[in-house]
Each structure stands twice: as structure tokens, then as C-alpha cells.
Structure 1
Amino acid sequence: MRAAVFTSFGGPEVMQVMEVPDPHAGPGQIRVRVKAAGVQHYDCAIRGGWTPSYGVTVNFPQIPGNEFAGVIDEVGAGVTGFSIGSEVLGFAILNCYAEYVVVGADQIVEKPKTMTWEEAGGLTGNGQGASIALTAIGVKPGDTVFINGAAGSLGSIAVQLAKASGAKKVIGTASETNHDFIRSLGAIPVTYEQGLADRLRKIAPEGIDCAFDTAGGEGLHAAVELIADKKRICTFFAYDLIEELGLRVVRGERSAARLAELVDLHTQGKLRLHIRQIFPLDRAGDAHRAIESRHGRGKIVLKID
């Protein structure tokens, strides 16, 4: 099969397409012919040489990618509830930038007809990440929620999940060119830059209850200044500042149950995924350059088939 791989650690230029052996489904597994695979900062970090603390092993040539959507074409022994031809979306840790991926049957859910392949391929990682973060900070009905970096894929999903959880007011930082987009998600946009804490006080004189940071900088420091309970602040960006700012490390498990909840919200019209750009498989390096620029709104996806 064709796959986008890296054979050494480095920048986006180390990404290349090559032929690698086809994987096959074992007991309890399914094989998916991939239609689309999302691109995440996680993928870029592993390509650059970062090793997660939970035991990811990189073997060259390594296929990155941790979210996908496609059609099941092989079912292993003991799998129930799925069959060849089922359209699904799912998650892995690696190996999704390829024509085929093999995962456990507990790592997929059915793709609704209302969801495009690109949306399905890009929902799993940032969708579950935002869900984990908002669960950790305890977003509840009536809350005023601050999302720092609200225009990106992770932030824009977090805005929508906060609204779906009953938040009274959601405020999101973004560059001015993305303010209309933020409003379309149901949030109040605010620019970055110094003095952000004072601007937030004016927008939310009643106070801010909790915050999710995806961009660091002035936004994270404003959240720490304005929110008394540090357990209600989560960053998925400024990990190097967590101890200094008195925050906690937030971790959570991706699961088919969590993914199914996101799919249900999409079906109800309460969650949408804005696709920023679609790249073919042989331009995976360009996709990495685009996401590492940290500019633009929404999700970057690879179209595999």
C-alpha cells in the first residue's frame, strides 16, 4: 500500500510517500481502507522526535497519523457489530496516513451519512481532545467559558461543545480575520494582545468560570489572573508553564463511547468541523507545514482515496 512516512526525525521535509506492506486484521481487529486522515500537531511532534510518555515506539519507516475515516474491508475473528463495507471513523496512535489502517474494533464508530469523509477523518483527535478538556474543567449550564485560540480545529470544537453543555456565555480569542467565524459558532470574539484580561472583564463583568487554552501567551495568563479555581483551567499548549502557573496536567482516554457522543452532536447539528485545507497523500509534508504555521481556522485533512 502507499503511505506517507518518515525515515528519520526532522522537519516536514522528511515526509515522503512510499510503498509499505499491507497490514491485515487480526482477532478483534478490523482493517479500514482510508478515505481521509486528519493532521494534528501531535503527528508533527512525533515526526520531529518527541516521544510521548505512554510508550509510543517509532519504527522507521514510520507512518504518522492518529485519526481516520474509511470503509471496512477486512474483519478479524471475534468482531461483532461491524462488517465489510461499513463506513466508519476512528482513532489510533500512529499509522493513519496510509491506504489501509488496522485498529481494534473498539476504536471505531459508524460514520453517519450526513458527515463528509473529510469531517469524519478530522473529528476524532481534536474532537475527543476538546471533550476531555471541557470535562476536566467541569463546564456546566450557566457557566461563562473562555477558549484561548478559538479559531483552530481544537478551539472551534471546544467552543461548540461548551455551547452544547449549556454554557451561558463563551468567549474566544482569535485574530480579527476570524472574528466572524467565532461569532458563527456562537461565541464572543476577542483579540489577543496585551490588556486582554481587562477586555475580558468588560465582556464578562459577572466573571469567567473556566478556561481552556490552546494557544498560550497572553490568553493563558489572563485566564490564570481571572479564574480563582485553577482546577478549572486547562492548557493543551503551554505544558512548560503548568507547574509555574499552578495548573494541573489533564489527561484522558479516547474511546468509542466518547467519539459516538461527538458524532451524535454532529447529527443533531450542534457540532460542525470547518475544513481549512485538504491535501493529497503525497503532500503530507506540506500539510505539516500548514498546521505548524499555527495560522488559519479549522482542520487540515489528508485525502487518501
Structure 2
Amino acid sequence: MDTTMVVLVIVVFLALAFDFINGFHDTANAIATSVSTRALKPRAAILLAAGMNFVGAMMFTGVAKTIGGSVADPAALDNGLQVVIATLLSAIIWNLVTWWFGLPSSSSHALIGALAGAVFVGAGSDKLNYGGFTDIVLALILSPIIAFVIGYLVMQLLKVIFAKRSPHTVNKGFRTMQIFTAALQSFTHGTNDAQKAMGIITFALVTSGQLSEMEVPFWVKLSAATAMALGTSVGGWKIIKTMGTKIFKIEPINGFAADFTGASVIFSATLLHLPISTTHAITSAILGVGSAKRFSAVKWSLAGRIIVTWFITIPITAVLAGIIFKILF
């Protein structure tokens, strides 16, 4: 086995490790509200999320192509494999740090920021596709704003529709419906998040000459989907606690509104081939729903910490990827 193939194997391993970590880091996205309202028991919720993540990951590749070709042209990089290694190490480190502190940060931000930083330092500023990078960052910024607004409006509509119903009856019905929205949200999470590792692996295959274009091979789809599902099955209890209990006291009707909103925004982005942060979309939906319930019910200090993490992720992972590239190569 020549040196290029050895490095490529390392890249695939790191990409699947990132996907596995992304799975347990982002498990909370899909199931935090259903667990907190006791619509699902924790273990059942995690198994549901793992299964639906796998199904969603196997069905789409548009986001993978965007990830793999919009930030830089892999065929134009002489040291593309080294760039990808620095990218993945930076994103993995940041995901583990934010998981340790229980902060629902974005794996998407981490990966995009790290890739941009690694390309800038490792290949030169002229190799960075600023237009494609800007489009992705714009989608990452706008999606949580859209999710917040839609979550607020959905919750206001539900309040009007069920204003005269017994709260006990309403919550009982929505607790059952949360099982379906948790499944839907897990599916949409797989359609968007798992494709990011697929895109990075395909990027590496193109830059190493193993592929001639950004078409995701079946084995890449299957391995990334499996890694995501296995990671999801581990569960990210610290982030589940943050999203499910610490932002505001979630009732089944709130959980349904947040899950439906998050799934709608994520799937719309997938159909547009845009990699967005599932974490941001779902957390923002929860914040929007909480604001509609009662503005003062939301613990804005915690929300502020989460938002700060969102904004610092791209620059930190970009710098970290540049440093890692310099140290290793």
C-alpha cells in the first residue's frame, strides 16, 4: 500500500470518527423535547433516533456535494489529503470540547470553519472559494433566525387553536404526536448532518485521484450513515439535559411545535442542498416556541451562552485547523 492510500485510509477513519461523534453530540437535537416531556423513554428515543438517522442519511447526497465542492476545488489541491486531516482533527476536537461542557454547538460550523482554515493555511488563500464559503455561512446564519420565527408562529397558532381545550387533554394528545415528530426530526437530521462526512470523504477521494468528480460512492454513504447511527445510539446526555430542560420548561405541545419546526427547516435546507446546523435550527425553534409560550419563561442567559458558542465556532475551528496543519505538515 503506497503512502497516498495510507493517508486516505486515515482520512476515511477520521471522517467516520467525526460522524460518530456528530451522532452522539447531536442526538439531543431530535429527542431532547420528547424525552423531557416523557413522550419517549430515553433508550427508546435514542434507538428511534439512530434508526431514522440511518434511513435519512442513505437517501440524499446533495449536501455532501456542496460540502465537498463549494469551499474549495478538491482537484486543484496538491495536498488535499493533509488539508482534510487538519480539518477533521479540528472539528473533532471542538465537538468533544463543546460536548464536555454540554453546549449544543454546531458540527456543521465546526467542519466548514475547519475546512476553510485548513485550505487557507495549507493550500493558500487563492485556493479558497470565497463565494461558495460565503453562501454556506449565510445559510448557517439565516437558518436559526428562520427557525426561531417559524417556531414562534407555530406555537402562537397552536395556542389559538387549543385555547379552549383542557391543558391535560391537549398535552396527552401532543405527547403521542411527539413520537412521530421525534422520528421525523431524526430522519431530517440524517438527511443533512450525515452528508457532511460523506462530502469530506468524497473530497478526499477526488483530491487523491480516486474519483474524477464529486459523486458520492455507495460505500461512502453506507459507512457514513452507519457511523452516524452508531454514534446516535450512544447518546449525548449532557446536551439532552441542556436542550430538554434548561432553556425553558417544555410541555408536549411545545415539544411538538419545536420538533415540527426544526424538521421543516432542516429538510427544506436538504432539498436546497444547503448544509445547515441541525443544532442551531432545533435550538432556535425551541427558543421561538418558548418565547411564544411566555417570553420570560426562556432562560436567556443560557441562550446567550449557546449563541456565543455559535458565533465563535467558525473562527476558532478555522484557526485550530491552520495550527494543526502547520504542526503536522
TM-score bracket, normalised by the shorter chain, equals under 0.3
Superposition TM-score, scaled by structure 2 size: 0.22
Higher helix share: 2
Superposition TM-score, scaled by structure 1 size: 0.23
Higher strand share: 1
